[in-house]
């Protein structure tokens, strides 16, 4: 319950053998936009990512395009929402767009990728109703697009007082590597 994985830009639902996750096509969550394939040379060839970065849905029309997320018994419950983006030169323009991401009417973040490969934004969010919206807003700096949306149940008591909380992506660095020794991460 509340575990939803959406691969944006695919035509049909599928089971991803490399991740063990069932992905739904995004057509039941949004009626606008266009499907595109990314270029194979930009695929993230790592089994943990599966196929989710091989397609995108782009939104060349409209200022704001929203995915409708309907979950049973979601009201006042918290969920982790991950929005994934991999430009992959899908539009053959070699120019990465910049655009805003919203949860309903509330600003979430600005999507500003540094390369053609993948990145994601995550947030822990308490649903005010059984339906919530993830929206991509055109800021005049390129066509918004999205690769995947994933929703997972969460325990907000671990993270705070019931308000949304953005999770920041941080890198892991090897702090204990010496010649002749295996790398370690702390």
- Give per-residue pLDDT as tens, 70-92: 998 889 999 999 999 999 899 99
Give residue 65's domain range: 4-174
**Is there a domain that residue 10 lies in?**
yes
Please indicate, yes or no, if residue 185 is contained in any of the structural domains: no
In a domain? residue 167:
yes
Give me the residue label for tokens 């702090």. Answer: 175
Residue 123 has phi, psi (to 5 degrees) of -150, 145
Q: Which residues contact 127 (CB under 8 A, 6 or more apart)?
A: 71, 74, 75, 76, 77, 78, 79
- CA distance readout (Å), 61 to 32, 142, 145: 8, 11, 11
Gap between the Cα atoms of 70 and 132, Å rounded: 7
**What is the count of structural domains for the chain?**
1
Q: pLDDT digit string (tens) for 154-186?
A: 875 544 445 555 554 433 333 333 344 444 433
Per-residue pLDDT reduced to its tens digit, 12-69: 999 988 888 899 999 999 999 999 998 877 665 555 566 778 899 999 999 999 999 9
Residue 140 belongs to a domain with what CATH number?
A: 2.60.120
Q: Is residue 180 assigned to a domain?
A: no
């Amino acid at each position: 319950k509340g575990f939803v994985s959406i691969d944006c830009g695919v035509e049909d639902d599928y089971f991803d053998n490399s991740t063990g996750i069932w992905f739904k096509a995004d057509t039941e969550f949004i009626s606008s936009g266009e499907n595109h394939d990314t270029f194979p040379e930009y695929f993230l060839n790592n089994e943990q990512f599966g196929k989710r970065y091989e397609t995108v849905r782009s939104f060349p029309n409209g200022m704001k395009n929203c995915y409708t997320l309907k979950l049973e018994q979601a009201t006042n419950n918290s969920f982790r929402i991950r929005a994934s983006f991999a430009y992959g030169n899908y539009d053959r323009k070699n120019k990465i767009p910049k655009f805003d991401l919203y949860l309903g009417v509330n600003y979430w973040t600005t999507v500003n990728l540094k390369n053609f490969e993948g990145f994601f934004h995550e947030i822990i969010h308490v649903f005010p109703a059984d339906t919530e919206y993830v929206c991509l807003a055109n800021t005049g700096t390129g066509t918004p697009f999205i690769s995947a949306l994933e929703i997972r149940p969460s325990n907000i008591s671990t993270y705070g007082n019931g308000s949304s909380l953005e999770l920041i992506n941080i890198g892991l660095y090897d702090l204990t590597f010496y010649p002749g020794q295996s790398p370690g991460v702390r």
